[in-house]
Amino acid sequence: MEFGPHPLQKGGAALEKTMSLTKLLRGGGADRPIPPVTVQTLLEKKRAGQPITALTAYDYPTAFLVDQAGIDLILVGDSVGMAVLGYESTLPVTMDEMVHHTRAVARGVRRAFLVADMPFGSYHVSAEDAVRNAARLVKEAGAHAVKIEGGRTRAALVQRVVEAEIPVVAHIGLTPQSVHRMSGYQVQGRTTEAVEGLYADAESLQAAGAAAIVLEGIPREVAARITAHTSLPTIGIGAGPDCNGQILVFHDLVNLTFSPPAKFVRRYGDAAALFSNALRRYRDDVISGGFPGDAESYHLPKKVTAELAETGLPAPEPTGSGQPQCILESAAVLAEPAALARLAGD
């Protein structure tokens, strides 16, 4: 069975080919426009067999680096709860926190397609709440699309959000917001019935107008079949190499999670070791007096130095620790019991 394309995925020539538009510079001041990644870009990549690259980001510096690396899609995931905020799961993350982090990420994005997670509780009460909260992520935070977890049961909701002109990236398989219902983070789709359910989920979400679909924590064979039979671009995480694209959590990629990685994670760097080494070196240099040195210090103009010398003010004598002698002597005086008593009396 091959799912037919949603009406919103059909269409003729790109708009810029049929009419004159003022091209937007995603960076405000760049010499030439940077072609942005869009929903259409993702579809074209799937059709051309070109892999889609995706990563999470939660702040301006990492978003800037991810975007500069040429990653196609940046997800401000509710995984920010565990990766950055120290929560035990994604469930406590609020809409305000998602808006805050998405807004920061948006400032660092020039090319990538920016997707923001709808956190737990932001779309579970009513369709009106879902549309309102999705609009916040686009209007207030600068997202280009939102991500919603769930399959058939969320299809009508996805359609409502899409009809509000907000692209939706769907998410099926292991859905972290359903951790209690699933009795933990377990691989999904391991029985015939479960596989058929995932097929039905993908079909319903495509019919609802989803822009793409994340496949998480499912067997490679199942992900390959869904990818082959849906017109939606599939982005895998723990779903094998046969998806149209792959996504990882930035902090997993560079070893900043401080816990054993999941089976599907490959670490491409060790930022924890890099940061720890730099922090220890800084601490040691401050204690030894090696930082700051003269190269990191500002100096008075020679004229002002000469004028101060004429006033008769004592010139401080540098010590081995890098602290002026007059400061050290003052500290020693203040440490005397009599001086402390005088300060307490004041």
One-character DSSP codes across 21-41: -PPPPTTSS-SSPPPPP-HHH
Q: Which of 216, 296, 307, 310 is catalytic?
A: 216
Residue 323 pLDDT: 53
Q: Number of structural domains, the chain?
A: 1
Residue 184 lies in a domain: yes
H-type alpha helices, 230-324: 250-253, 271-288, 302-310
CATH number where 250 lies: 3.20.20.60
Residue 26 pLDDT: 52
**How far is it, in rounded angstroms, from Cα 152 to Cα 330?**
73
Residue 311 lies in a domain: no
Place of tokens 């930082």: 291
Instruction: Kindly provide the b/e burial profile for residues 184-202, where b requires at least 16 CB atoms within 10 angstroms of the residue's own CB.
Output: eeebbbeeeebbebbbebb
Residue 216: active-site member: yes
Residue 126 lies in a domain: yes
Residue 11 lies in a domain: yes
pLDDT digits (tens, 9 = 90+) for 27-66: 444 556 779 999 999 999 999 999 999 999 999 999 999 9
Angle between helix axes 155-163 and 192-208 (nearest 10 degrees) is 20
pLDDT digits (tens, 9 = 90+) for 302-329: 999 898 888 888 877 766 555 554 444 4
**Percent of the chain beyond pLDDT 90?**
74
Residue 340 lies in a domain: no
Mean pLDDT of the chain: 87
**Structural domain that includes position 132:** 7-267
Residue 321 pLDDT: 52
Residue 257 pLDDT: 93
Residue 17 pLDDT: 45
Residue 123 lies in a domain: yes
Segments of the chain with pLDDT less than 50: 1-2, 7-13, 15-25, 27-29, 325-335, 339-346
Residue 260 lies in a domain: yes
Residue 263 lies in a domain: yes
